[in-house]
Chain A
Amino acid sequence: MSSLTRDERALSSLLFLVLTGFGFAFAIGGRGDPLAAHGWIMILFGLAGLFMMLRVWSAPNPPQSSYDEYFDAPTKAGIILALVWGVIGMAVGAWVALLLAYPDFNLAGPWTSFGRIRPIHTSGVIFGFGGNALIATSFHVLQRTSRARIPDQFSPWFVLVGYNLFCVLAASGYVLGITQSKEYAEPEWYADILLVLVWVAYFLIYIRTLMRRKEPHIYVANWYYMAFILVVAMLHIVNNLAVPISLTQAKSYSLFSGVQDAMTQWWYGHNAVAFFLTAGFLGMMYYYLPKRAERPIFSYRLSIISFWGITFMYMWAGSHHLHYTALPHWVQTLGMVFSVVLLIPSWASAGNALLTLNGAWHKVRDDAVLRFMMLAAIFYAITTLEGSFMAIRPVNSLSHYTDWTIGHVHAGALGWVAMITFGSLYALVPWMWKKSQLYSKALVEVHFWLALSGTLVYVFAMWNSGVIQGLMWRTYDESGTLTYSFLESLVAMHPYYVARTIGGTLFLLGAIVALYNVLMTIRMVERTSENVAPDLPATAPQAVPAGE
């Protein structure tokens, strides 16, 4: 906090005060509504922030020399937050998996029923873990590849703190039963408004820093990060257009209804996968993979072509979530064909990543951090092939509504998103805390094999379960009647649900190992190597290129 200037501290205090004020308005006005609980959370959050500001109130402005360094404090905080959210989100995920196999593990009645804790898992891992990792790494990549410091100290903190307040409101709201019932867009109107403010500030950081850049070209990773920020803003605003029933109640009604609502939701939902879980993490991959491998990207031009291919085509693909529904056939056709053609830029990205490793495969063998990233690229290729395949209507008629979809999502979420994140964070942590290496390479190996085995168990269980389910639902006997009842398909799924719980738990254990390893790395006392190249922006007097 002392990295903030006095003016920035005053501005932060004011915002915390405003937050507290809104908290009181909600807590008092929303009596008898779940909104009041969120009011109290906002009061606590605002007062805690205010307290932190007051503690450093009289501290002097940061020294002028600090402006000659990159601003990494929010990145450091974001790394920790990402890992903590990851452990929470994955733990709830394992619990949800257990609930599906053994429904009696619903421990606290309605509060922890499946419908309420399942979105804690999805939001926890996507927004808490993934989002914080994206924010943390994007600030780092942005500054390093632009050789410029973020223009101020306030905005990155505003983004990180505001974003995590959004995550807290989301997760706590689910337990209280506050939801819009839109997948991955469950939080209600006031949390949505908060996220819009945060997101605009996030995009402005990007633009302002790029305007200050000292490199002639904008590095490709920044294009991906910017697409992620810009499109998520667009998706978030449109899909959450809603009218609250009153300003003192949490509930709101969507602007859209019927099939338009479904189409808007899945335009949002699939592009959340595309721009949050793909474009953002491709940005991560395009920086940390070449850095760790110490190789240039195999074909920089290909990375640009893939970028525009992915950006253009993903926009059309959302309707493949609504095959064989009330959605008009023509919309389904468009969703299908663009999903299929999307395979080309997707595989181009995965191939580009793997070919970048040419000349560094010995490092992949020896370095589990780089191996995480390599595996991520492989899972990215598998998942995008599977996704294009499942978007084909006749295939979808078998896979839709089954666990195959869950298997597909987790091949992407565990195999691609989480692996590239863990690889990148492992690379980033020693750079951020000025250590020559991680606390334990062995623990990274342990994590790698836990993550890989967990993913394989999970994905194979869901593939099997999904295909069995899909086939049981469509098996007719010679009289033209269904052979199996729905209950029989549930019984058939049970062993796979148990296996899924085991796979998820293995993955969770890996995440706990990662958190431990990172915390121990931070605590580790060691002298920094004298040969480390200085890591400073171009404006610094002693700046020389290269570094992390």
Chain B
Amino acid sequence: MSAPAPDRDPVTGRLTTGHEWNGIKELGTPVPRIVFIGLTLGALYLIVWTILMPAWPGINSYTRGLLGIDQRTSVEARVALARLERAEWTQRIETEPLATLASDPQVMNLVKGYGKTLFGDNCQACHGGKGVGNSGFPNISQAPLMWGDDLDTIHETIRVGINAAHPETRFSQMLAFGRDGMLGRSDILAVTDYLLALGSGASVDDMTHGAEVFAFNCASCHGDNARGSVDFGAPDLVDDHWIYGGYRQAVFNSIFTGRAGHMPSWEGRLSKADLRILALYVGWLRENQP
């Protein structure tokens, strides 16, 4: 083992210590002063900050810090303050009739801003950005609403949901006419074609079979003229809007296997004011159709 004698590094002019590891020599450069300054400042910061703030644990408790700051109390204070600031308008929203609020431009300005955010966070995933729906989820900004479209009804639908867990939930189910053997294939096809013809405005005079099937099986909920009924949450079958698709196979499937869409109830998840803002926002969407 050869321990080379200390020599001078030509670049730095400093001596090496004589230690060497497979060709890497140990250069004797002292630790730069700035490192010690940094460590000292760091230690000072550490000491001062942990004296000011809750920091060091003991056996049963911890040092509370001279500033008396605690994240729990600070967040509670901020939430209370925010609630207070919002109280001036939340109180109006909660108490005044929706129709009155809808005619107040100041309220509607809030609805257009905050209502949009609320809608985005809670409704958009199913009903789409402008409420125009997705496959399986109804268009709620342009189509007639199945349970009624005045503001109070919209609010109620949002509050209790459809086929939801809420005790007062709206309940609606379309039977599986084909699967459960109430109608045969040819009956379903006949009524499908009858409905498609009705919707397109074509003549249905010679579709007596389809009309008959409809009258006996569908009219009780969807109405004699197939324009739907808000009492049962039964959609209008003549307009251009289809939840599950308006082409022949989709309509056939709906009749064959039945439908029972689900909308969650939002009472308990959203505040009272938020529920009412959403109702106003949906109403506004319907009036200013995209």
Q: How far is the CB of B280 from chain A (nearest CB, A)?
A: 14
Question: What are some 30 contacts across the A-B interface (CB < 8 A)?
Answer: A144-B22, A145-B21, A147-B1, A215-B21, A217-B26, A291-B23, A296-B16, A296-B27, A298-B27, A299-B32, A302-B29, A305-B31, A329-B53, A329-B70, A330-B56, A333-B53, A333-B55, A334-B50, A344-B35, A344-B39, A344-B42, A359-B12, A477-B113, A479-B114, A480-B82, A480-B85, A481-B113, A483-B117, A484-B120, A548-B22
Contact at B19–A217, with CB atoms within 8 Å? yes
Chain A 219-276 interface residues, beta-carbon cutoff 8 Å to B: 219
Task: Return the contact of B46 from the options A291, A337, A488 (Cβ within 8 A).
Answer: A337
Contact at A482–B117, with CB atoms within 8 Å? yes
Query: Residues of A with Cβ closer than 8 Å to B?
Result: 144-145, 147, 214-217, 219, 287, 290-291, 295-302, 305, 309, 324, 328-334, 336-338, 340-341, 343-344, 347-348, 358-359, 477, 479-488, 538, 545-548
Chain B residues lying within 8 Å of A329, measured Cβ to Cβ, are: 53-54, 69-72
Contact at B35–A348, with CB atoms within 8 Å? yes
Q: How far is the CB of A68 from chain B (nearest CB, A)?
A: 15
User: Considering the chains assembled together, what is the distance between the CA atoms of A454 and B6 in angstroms?
Assistant: 44
User: Considering the chains assembled together, what is the distance between the CA atoms of A519 and B120 in angstroms?
Assistant: 53
Beyond A291-B23, A330-B57, A358-B12, 13 extra complex contacts between A and B, CB < 8 Å: A287-B24, A298-B27, A298-B29, A301-B28, A337-B46, A340-B45, A344-B42, A477-B114, A481-B86, A481-B110, A485-B117, A486-B121, A487-B125
Chain A residues lying within 8 Å of B19, measured Cβ to Cβ, are: 215-217, 300
Chain B residues lying within 8 Å of A145, measured Cβ to Cβ, are: 21-22, 24
Chain A residues lying within 8 Å of B38, measured Cβ to Cβ, are: 344, 347-348
User: Considering the chains assembled together, what is the distance between the CA atoms of A333 and B89 in angstroms?
Assistant: 38
Chain B residues lying within 8 Å of A297, measured Cβ to Cβ, are: 24, 26-27
Q: How far is the CB of B35 from chain A (nearest CB, A)?
A: 5
User: Considering the chains assembled together, what is the distance between the CA atoms of A545 and B11 in angstroms?
Assistant: 22
Which single residue of chain A is at the shortest CB-CB distance from B277?
Answer: A481
A296 with B46, Cβ < 8 A, contacts A344-B35, A482-B117 known: no
Total residues of chain B contacting the partner, CB 8 A: 62
Task: Return the contact of A296 from the options B26, B57, B72, B86 (Cβ within 8 A).
Answer: B26
Chain B 69-125 interface residues, beta-carbon cutoff 8 Å to A: 69-72, 75, 82, 85-86, 89, 110, 113-114, 116-121, 124-125
A479 with B29, Cβ < 8 A, contacts A291-B23, A305-B35, A344-B39 known: no
Task: Return the contact of B22 from the options A330, A334, A341, A547 (Cβ within 8 A).
Answer: A547
Q: Which of A219, A331, A340, A481 has the most CB of B within 10 A?
A: A481
Chain B residues lying within 8 Å of A487, measured Cβ to Cβ, are: 120-121, 124-125, 129
Chain B residues lying within 8 Å of A538, measured Cβ to Cβ, are: 1
B63 within 8 A of A: yes
User: Considering the chains assembled together, what is the distance between the CA atoms of A483 and B86 in angstroms?
Assistant: 14
Chain B residues lying within 8 Å of A344, measured Cβ to Cβ, are: 35, 38-39, 42
Contact at B24–A330, with CB atoms within 8 Å? no
Contact at B113–A337, with CB atoms within 8 Å? no
Q: How far is the CB of B250 from chain A (nearest CB, A)?
A: 22
Q: How far is the CB of B96 from chain A (nearest CB, A)?
A: 16
Chain A residues lying within 8 Å of B53, measured Cβ to Cβ, are: 329-330, 333
Chain B residues lying within 8 Å of A291, measured Cβ to Cβ, are: 22-24
Which single residue of chain B is at the shortest CB-CB distance from A482?
Answer: B117
Chain A residues lying within 8 Å of B24, measured Cβ to Cβ, are: 145, 219, 287, 290-291, 296-297
User: Considering the chains assembled together, what is the distance between the CA atoms of A89 and B50 in angstroms?
Assistant: 41
A484 with B117, Cβ < 8 A, contacts A302-B35, A332-B71, A547-B22 known: yes
Task: Return the contact of A301 from the options B20, B31, B114 (Cβ within 8 A).
Answer: B31
Chain B 1-49 interface residues, beta-carbon cutoff 8 Å to A: 1-4, 9-12, 16-17, 19-32, 35, 38-39, 42-43, 45-46, 49
Q: Which of A214, A330, A487 has the most CB of B within 10 A?
A: A330
B247 within 8 A of A: no
Q: How far is the CB of A72 from chain B (nearest CB, A)?
A: 14
B216 within 8 A of A: no
Contact at A330–B21, with CB atoms within 8 Å? no
Task: Return the contact of A299 from the options B29, B65, B75 (Cβ within 8 A).
Answer: B29
Chain A residues lying within 8 Å of B2, measured Cβ to Cβ, are: 545
User: Considering the chains assembled together, what is the distance between the CA atoms of A546 and B4 in angstroms?
Assistant: 11
Contact at A485–B124, with CB atoms within 8 Å? yes
Contact at A330–B25, with CB atoms within 8 Å? no
Which single residue of chain A is at the shortest CB-CB distance from B57?
Answer: A330
Chain A residues lying within 8 Å of B82, measured Cβ to Cβ, are: 480
Q: How far is the CB of B71 from chain A (nearest CB, A)?
A: 5
Contact at B23–A479, with CB atoms within 8 Å? no
Contact at A481–B22, with CB atoms within 8 Å? no
Task: Return the contact of A488 from the options B70, B89, B120 (Cβ within 8 A).
Answer: B120
